[in-house]
Amino acid sequence: MTILVVMGVAGSGKSTVAGILAKRLGWDLQEGDELHPKANVEKMASGHPLTDEDRWPWLELIAKWIAGQIDSGKSGIVTCSALKHSYRDVLRCDGVVFVQLSGSREQISERLEHRQGHYMPPSLLTSQLDTLEPPGQDEHAIVVDIAQTPEQIASEVIAALPPT
């Protein structure tokens, strides 16, 4: 059993790639943004970055979802920015693989400028990039360049998955 945490800054393609992966693999998918408390969504929508204190309850909800999948013996995929090592510590357990969608500031900024219907304004990209700590040696992670199509990214992730 494997739980993929598709991570990265806003605009990196987490939801798109996670959706493709879930469809190809037949795994459950949880959109992490749906677990944000209303106050977090309102704060981000008004252009204010979240603090660690804002994120802890949200991360705990994601960790609960992961634990539920593991307890039920089901592989799954969840999207979560998971920007800091300490955030990923809350989510990390046996079977969790982080999938970091990595790209340049320019690539992601352009995506955010053209994105519609999301509460996260492009103005918060800088704070997310400043917060981002790439996965370390102690984290089971697959890092994928977002310059590829979402389908190519999903194929690369699937090819890199541990055998089940």
Which domains are present in the chain? Answer: 3-160 (3.40.50.300)
Higher-pLDDT residue of 130 and 19 is 19
pLDDT of the residue at 120: 54
- 77 pLDDT band, cuts 50/70/90, is very high
Q: 111-121 burial string, b = 16+ CB within 10 Å, else e?
A: bbeeeeeeebe
Backbone angles phi, psi at 120, to 5 degrees: -80, 110
In the chain, what are the helix, strand and coil shares in percent, each to the nearest 5? 50, 15, 35
Position of tokens 């995506």?
A: 111
pTM higher than 0.85: yes
Report whether pLDDT(16) > 60.
yes
Beta bridge partner(s), residue 100:
7, 143
pLDDT of residue 104: 86
Tokens of 88: 């990923």
DSSP assignment of 4-70, as one string?
EEEE-STTS-HHHHHHHHHHHHT-EEE-GGGGS-HHHHHHHHTT-PPPHHHHHHHHHHHHHHHHHHH
